[in-house]
């Protein structure tokens, strides 16, 4: 009974060896001579002049979310286009409804000025 699980155990052990092994070897074999220059914060070649925990403008997140939204739309369109012959008119109308909802959301964002960048 337990011999059925041996390939799974072997797979886990090899995965751990491949994942953890190089990190342990690097930690053991790599030279470790830190100096003040190596331990200093680096930002574009000069010292940081602002707090790293400053607040970002919400528009960055909004643009990222909109990108993901429309990127996923394209990810749904490719498989739909491939199987359109098999799903027929119902599939076509379902995708038209899906795209109409996305267009309404896009127009709403546009009218609210979320896509404007000053």
Q: Which of 14-18, 39-43, 95-99, 106-110 has the highest mean pLDDT?
A: 14-18
> What pTM value is reported for the model?
0.48
Q: CB–CB of 91/83 below 8 Å?
A: yes
Residue 12 has pLDDT above 90, yes or no: yes
pLDDT at 63: 79
Domain ranges of the chain: 2-112
- What sign does the CA torsion over 73, 74, 80, 81 have? positive
- Domain 2-112 fold is Methane Monooxygenase Hydroxylase; Chain G, domain 1 (1.20.58)
- Residue 27 CB neighbour total at 10 angstroms: 9
pLDDT at 45: 62
pLDDT at 15: 96
CA distances 106 to 39, 64, 86, 109, Å, are 46, 14, 30, 5
Give the separation between CA 74 and CA 99, rounded to whole angstroms. 10
- What sign does the CA torsion over 49, 52, 53, 58 have? positive
Provide the 3-class DSSP secondary structure of residue 54.
coil
Return the beta strands (E) in the chain as ranges: none
Q: Confidence band (pLDDT; 50, 70, 90) for 74?
A: confident
Q: CB–CB of 108/102 below 8 Å?
A: no
């Amino acid at each position: 009974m337990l011999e059925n699980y041996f390939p799974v155990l072997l797979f886990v052990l090899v995965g751990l060896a491949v994942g953890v092994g190089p990190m342990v070897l690097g930690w053991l074999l790599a030279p470790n001579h830190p100096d003040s220059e190596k331990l200093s914060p680096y930002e574009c070649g000069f010292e940081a002049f602002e707090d790293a925990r400053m607040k970002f403008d919400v528009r960055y997140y909004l643009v990222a979310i909109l990108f993901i939204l429309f990127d996923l739309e394209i990810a749904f369109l490719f498989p739909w286009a491939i199987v359109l012959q098999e799903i027929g008119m119902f599939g076509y109308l379902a995708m038209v409804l899906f795209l109409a909802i996305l267009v309404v959301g896009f127009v709403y964002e546009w009218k609210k000025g979320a896509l404007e960048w000053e």
